[in-house]
């Protein structure tokens, strides 16, 4: 079973619409959950993180976490062409001094004019 | 804003050669990581490093790989004898310890070092 699963897409939404990106994870010990954006050939860029059940809003972005369902999502409101990128879901686990962030394969988002 | 610096940005090497990729993490961070991303594939964890020793490593991180913090600022990844399949983008990241509410566990990534093995 994959540790972090995402639909690879592409997810195509028109400009101004809401884009909904989903992610599931397998390890119930996961402690923090992240959404990164990655443009082709570039490094992951943090959008937001969440560690408690519920919603967290930051500007046009809302992250949702449901630990019972092992599910994380990202909503992007008023999508813009500049939002077109690959969105990476990642989960952080630590135990003692050992820690790692595990990424999903990413969902490619295309915002069309 | 503090950033993680990686050098070189691009390195081309011959198969079998040794390569050292360098990183300068954010100064007050204590946890350091290396990831790699083969073209078109996911970002994969290689190794984490804390208190001058490896704290966790993946199956990818075999005997050909090593990491070192030779001084108070640099964090290096060495590949002893490169293979064609080592061609990838290598990302360094760092974070600080603590509770997530303080921003801990948020990895900041460098811009990456692209390694091309011929």
CA distance B47 to B99: 22
Q: How confident is the model at residue A1 (pLDDT cuts 50, 70, 90)?
A: low
> Which has the closest alpha carbon to B111: B6, B8, B38, B29?
B6
**How does the average pLDDT of chain B come out, rounded?**
93
- The larger pLDDT score, comparing residue A55 to residue B72, is at A55
DSSP 8-state secondary structure symbol assigned to residue B69: -
Contacts of B31 in chain A (CB under 8 A): 99
Beta strand pairing status for A98-103 and A85-95? antiparallel
pLDDT at position B71: 86
Q: How confident is the model at residue A23 (pLDDT cuts 50, 70, 90)?
A: very high
Q: What are phi and psi of B105, to 5 degrees?
A: 70, 5
- The larger pLDDT score, comparing residue B98 to residue B27, is at B27
Question: What's the longest Cα–Cα distance across chain B?
Answer: 45
Q: How confident is the model at residue A2 (pLDDT cuts 50, 70, 90)?
A: low
Q: How confident is the model at residue B55 (pLDDT cuts 50, 70, 90)?
A: very high
Å between A106 CA and nearest CA of chain B: 7
CB B60 within 8 A of CB A103: no
CA distance B70 to A92: 27
Buried b (16+ CB within 10 A) or exposed e, A72-97: bbbbbeebeeebbbbbbbbbbbbeeb
A:18-37 residues touching chain B, CB 8 A cutoff? 31-32, 34
pLDDT at position A50: 95
Among partner residues B45, B51, B89, which is closest to A102 by beta-carbon distance? B45
Q: Does the N-terminal peptide bond of residue B27 adopt cis geometry, omega within 30 degrees of 0?
A: no
Mutate to test the interface with A, among B6, B107, B110 (most CBs of A within 10 A): B107
CA distance A60 to A57: 8
CB of A49 less than 8 A from some CB of B: yes
Contacts of B101 in chain A (CB under 8 A): 51
Contacts of A100 in chain B (CB under 8 A): 33, 45, 48, 56
Supply B78's token pair. 């060495």
Among partner residues B42, B51, B108, which is closest to A97 by beta-carbon distance? B51
Using DSSP, how many helices (H) and how many strands (E) does chain A show?
A: 0, 11
Question: pLDDT at residue B65 above 80?
Answer: yes
Q: How confident is the model at residue B7 (pLDDT cuts 50, 70, 90)?
A: very high
pLDDT at position A53: 95
- Bridge partners of B99, per DSSP, are none
Contacts of B91 in chain A (CB under 8 A): 43-44
């Amino acid at each position: 079973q994959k540790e972090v699963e995402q639909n690879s897409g592409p997810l195509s939404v028109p400009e101004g619409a809401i884009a909904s990106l989903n992610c599931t994870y397998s390890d119930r010990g996961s402690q923090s959950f992240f959404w990164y954006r990655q443009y082709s050939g570039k490094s992951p860029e943090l959008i937001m993180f969440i560690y408690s059940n519920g919603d967290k809003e930051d500007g046009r972005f809302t992250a949702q976490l449901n630990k019972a369902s092992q599910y994380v999502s990202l909503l992007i409101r008023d999508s813009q062409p500049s939002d077109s990128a690959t969105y990476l879901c990642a989960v952080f686990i630590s135990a003692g001094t050992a820690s790692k962030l595990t990424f999903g394969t990413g969902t490619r988002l295309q915002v069309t004019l | 804003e503090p950033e993680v610096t990686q050098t070189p940005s691009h390195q081309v090497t011959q198969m079998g050669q040794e390569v050292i990729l360098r990183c300068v993490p954010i100064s007050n961070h204590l946890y350091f990581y290396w990831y790699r991303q083969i073209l078109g594939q996911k970002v994969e964890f290689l190794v984490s490093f804390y208190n001058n020793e490896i704290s966790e490593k993946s199956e990818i991180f075999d005997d050909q790989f090593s990491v070192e913090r030779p001084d108070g600022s640099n964090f290096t990844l060495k590949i002893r004898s490169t293979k064609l399949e080592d061609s990838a983008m290598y990302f360094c990241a760092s974070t600080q310890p603590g509770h997530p509410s303080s921003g801990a566990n948020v990895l900041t990534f460098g811009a990456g070092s692209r390694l091309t093995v011929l």
